[in-house]
Amino acid sequence: MGIRRQKNLTLLYLFFSFLCIFLGISIFLTLLTSCQLLGTGLKKEDQTKSENSTIRGGDERDVEKELEKPATRLSLWIDNSIPLYLKMVIKNEVRKKFGSFSLAESQDSADVKVGLDFASKCYGSSEDSYQAPLILVPVVSFFTVCDGVAWEDFLKFWNGNPQSLSYITDQGGLPRLLIPEDIFNILEGVLGKCEGDVEILSQDSRDSLAYALNKEENSFSIIPFDWLEPGLKALNVDNMSVFDRKLNVREYPLALGIMVEGKNPDIVQELESNIGETGFSNRDIGELVTLNMTGVTALVRGTARKMEKYGVLYPAQDIAEILADADITHISNEIPFVEGCTGARDKDLVFCSKPDYIELIKYVGTDVIELTGNHMNDYGHEWMLYTLDLYDREGLAYFGGGRNLKESYKPAIFEISGNRIAFLGCNQFGPAYDWAGKETPGSTPPNYQDLENVVSDLKNKGYIVIFTFQYAETYDYRPIEQQVIDFRRMIEAGASIVSGSQSHHPMGVEITEDGFINYGLGNLFFDQMFSLGVRQGIIAKHVFYRQRHINTVLITTMLEDYCRPRLTTPEERAFLLRSIFEGSIRET
Please count the other Cβ atoms lying within 10 Å of the Cβ belonging to residue 6: 9
Question: Residue 172 region, left (φ>0) first, then alpha (ψ -120 to 50), else beta?
Answer: left
pTM for the whole structure: 0.86
Residue 226: the pLDDT is 95
Give residues with Cβ within 8 angstroms of 112, minimum separation 6.
74, 75, 76, 77, 94, 260, 261, 262, 263, 267, 268, 271
440-463 pLDDT per residue, tens? 999 999 999 999 999 999 999 999
Neighbouring C-beta atoms of residue 72, cutoff 10 Å: 12
Q: Is 257 left (phi over 0), alpha (psi -120 to 50) or beta?
A: beta
Averaged pLDDT for residues 508-528? 97
Q: β-pairing, 134-141 with 255-262?
A: antiparallel
Q: pLDDT tens digits, residue range 322-359?
A: 999 999 999 999 999 999 998 645 557 899 999 999 99
Judged by average pLDDT, the poorest of 79-93, 354-368, 565-579 is 79-93
Rg (CA), the chain: 38
User: Would you mind telling me the total number of residues written for the chain in this entry?
Assistant: 588
What band does 130 get if pLDDT is binned at 50, 70 and 90?
Answer: confident
The beta strands (E) that lie in 235-327 are given as: 236-237, 255-262, 288-293, 296-297
Determine the Cα–Cα distance for residues 334 and 151; give it in Å rounded to an integer.
Answer: 44
Q: How confident is the model at residue 56 (pLDDT cuts 50, 70, 90)?
A: very low
- How far apart CA 118 and CA 253 sit, in angstroms, is 7
- Report the C-alpha gap between 426 and 279 in whole angstroms: 43
Q: What percent of the chain has pLDDT over 90?
A: 71
- Strand 368-370 versus strand 397-399 pairing type: parallel
Cβ-Cβ contacts under 8 Å for 15 (sequence gap 6 or more): none
Pairing of the two strands 401-402 and 442-443: antiparallel
Mean pLDDT of 276-301: 92
Residue pair 424/458 in contact by the 8 Å Cβ criterion? yes
Tell me what the pLDDT averaged over the chain comes to: 88
Q: At 557, which amino acid appears?
A: T
Report whether pLDDT(29) > 70.
Answer: no
Give the CA count within 13 Å in the CB-facing half-sphere of 299.
24
Kind of pairing, strands 509-511 and 497-500? unpaired
Q: What is the 3-state secondary structure (H, E, C) of 221-257?
A: EEEEHHHCCCCEEECEECCECCCCCCCCCCCCCCEEE
Q: Give the per-residue pLDDT at 61.
A: 41
Find all residues with CB under 8 Å of 250, minimum gap 6, and list them: 119, 120, 125, 126, 130
Instruction: State pLDDT tens for residues 89-117.
Output: 899 988 888 888 899 988 888 999 999 99
- At 151, the amino acid letter reads W
Closest by CA to 535, choosing from 513, 566, 511, is 566
Instruction: Please enumerate in sequence order all residues whose Cβ is within 8 A of that of 334, keeping only pairs 6 or more positions apart, or say none.
Output: 296, 297, 298, 351, 373, 374, 375, 376, 470
539 burial type by CB count under 10 A (0-12 exposed, 13-18 middle, 19+ buried): buried
Which helix (H) or strand (E) element contains residue 140? strand 134-141
Looking at the DSSP bridge assignments, the partners of residue 332 are 296, 370
What distance in Å separates the CA atoms of residue 141 and residue 169, rounded to the nearest whole number? Answer: 10
Question: What pLDDT does 399 receive?
Answer: 98
Domains of the chain listed by start with CATH number: 134-248 (3.40.190.10), 286-582 (3.60.21)
- Which of the residue ranges 267-276, 278-287, 568-577 has the most confident prediction, judged by mean pLDDT? 568-577
Distances (CA, A) of 268 to 77, 84, 464: 13, 21, 43
pLDDT of residue 537: 98
Cα distances from 367 to residues 27, 334, 473, in angstroms, run 99, 16, 26
The pLDDT value given to residue 63: 38
Is pLDDT at 64 greater than 70 in this prediction? no
Give the least confident one: 38-52, 174-188, 294-308: 38-52
| Of 272 and 111, more confident | 111
At position 260, the amino acid (one-letter code) is V
Cβ neighbours, 10 Å, residue 45: 10
Pairing of strands 516-518, 509-511: antiparallel
